[in-house]
Structure 1
Amino acid sequence: MKDRILKVSISEAERKGFRFTMGELAKQLGMSTKTLYGYYPSKEELLNEMIDLAINELKKKEEEILHDSTLNLVEKLQKCLVLIPADFQFAQLKYLEELQRYYPKQWETLDLFIHEQWTGIFSLLDEGIATKKIRAFNKEIFIEVYIGGLYRLMEHGAKNRNMMSLQDAMQEMVDILMHGILEDNVHEEN
């Protein structure tokens, strides 16, 4: 039953954001609110489990990418930097900002993960630098730019309801971080 509740909760979050009520959720599930609270004593506990599920999915997908022998180093790096949970994409940027504003403890869990999940990417960067596929650079600044960009996209997404999806925004940001803004022929001219 908990799996079903999680699945419907994720669907509600994708449809309406994190501000759905337990009453609305119970109605979607065809159960009483009291029964729902028997499984999850608070909405915060339900959100904790939803976020843990998303984080675990991200970790699993990153491991799959890191061990995928069909991808080269640059492809692995790009895929890891754009990773978003498939079933629970925090579908729109405005919902991440909503989580931050209305559920600070749950946001703190996600924020901590965003700041600490860099081991696999550091490994790829170190390999790329060692094999001269990536130029040496300050990885800490790279991460700060990435995280700052993500958070700025969230702020912008919350204000602009027609903003592109998180997946598209992350892809664009990673493309700029990895390839810069110069055309290839400009690199060759210098």
Structure 2
Amino acid sequence: MELKEQIIEATIEEFNEKGLKFTMDQLAKRMGISKKTLYSVFSDKESLFLEAIDTCFSEIKRSEKEIFEDDKLDTMEKIRKIIIVLPKRYQAIDFRQLYQLEEKFPKMFRKIEARLETDWEPTIQLIEQAIREGKIRRIEIPVLQTMISSTIEAFIKTNVLIKNDISYTNALEEMICIILDGIRVKSSET
């Protein structure tokens, strides 16, 4: 693994332990490298976080592609998995801590927002396929896309998950269940 990737991995570990409050000094110490070496790769904490965000979203997109191409999954399973996908190496990240970003690192928060709102084409194709297959009713896809993006943004923009002791993963799973299955109790469940 090249140094840049090792730094991003160590950044994730620091973030999980300390949230955004860790220092570049602590990061260098964790890695057993000098701050000078660290700063030769990333000029500051913000550029490091921006690169980590890109890396994370690139891996999410790779995972989405794997789900999209998995012939063992039906259309609805693919939709469910793609919308809440988190690659294994990011499942341990406490995304609930990201609410601090908007105030302290607005540039990073805007980058996350932009990434959440782009690259929806494979998901839209699956939704259109599910409509054609009669698995979901005809819907306005931009409304669904906005609902999902806005919900995820709310999870990372506020501390609602922390206040209610809900993990980020559980929140995503609950969101997709509500969206795909609704909130009405089925007659067989009463």
Q: TM (normalized to structure 2)?
A: 0.89
Please list the CA deviations of residues 83-141 of structure 1 after superposition, one character each: whole Å capped at 9, or x if unmatched.
12322348234322122222111222211110113111110111111121110011111
1:181 corresponds in structure 2 to 183
Q: Are 2:19 and 2:97, in contact at CA under 8 Å, matched by a contact in 1?
A: yes
Instruction: Map residues 1-190 of structure 1 onto 2, 5 A cutoff.
Output: 1-89=3-91, 91-157=93-159, 160-161=162-163, 163-185=165-187
Identity %: 29
- Is 9-18 or 119-128 further displaced after alignment? 9-18
1:158 CA drift (Å):
5.7
AA matched with 1:152: A
Q: Find the aligned partners of 1:138 and 1:186 in 2 and give their Cα distance.
A: 29
Q: Give the drift of 1:166.
A: 1.0
Q: How far off its partner does 1:64 sit?
A: 0.3
Q: Distance in 1 between matches of 2:158 and 2:106?
A: 19
Q: Tell me, yes or no, if the aligned pair for 1:65 and 1:80 is still in contact at 8 Å.
A: yes
CA distance in 1, matches of 2:120, 2:41: 34
Contact 2:102 2:157 in 1 (8 A): no
**RMSD (Å), alpha carbons:** 2.1
> Structure 1 residue 13: deviation in Å?
1.3
Which of 24-33 and 148-157 deviates more? Answer: 148-157
**Displacement of 1:184:** 2.4
Deviates more, 1:67-76 or 1:176-185: 176-185
Could you tell me which runs of 5 or more consecutive residues in structure 1 were left unpaired when the two chains were aligned: none
Deviation larger for 82-91 or 163-172: 82-91
Runs of 4+ in 1 over 3 A off after TM superposition: 158-162
Larger mean CA deviation between 136-145 and 155-164 belongs to 155-164
Q: Which amino acid aligns with 1:17?
A: G
Change (3 A) 1:158 1:103: farther
CA contact (8 A) 1:157 1:163 kept: no
CA contact (8 A) 1:94 1:161 kept: no
SS across alignment from 2:88: coil
In structure 2, runs of 5+ residues without a counterpart are: none
Figure out how many residues of one structure are paired with residues of the other and give that number. Answer: 187
Assess, with a 3 A threshold, how the Cα gap between structure 1 residues 44 and 158 changes in structure 2: closer, same or farther. Answer: farther
Q: Tell me the distance in 2 between the aligned counterparts of 1:37 and 1:184.
A: 57
In 2: Cα distance, 1:83 partner to 1:159 partner = 18
Q: Aligned equivalents of 1:67 and 1:38: distance in 2?
A: 39
Aligned partner letter, 2:110:
E
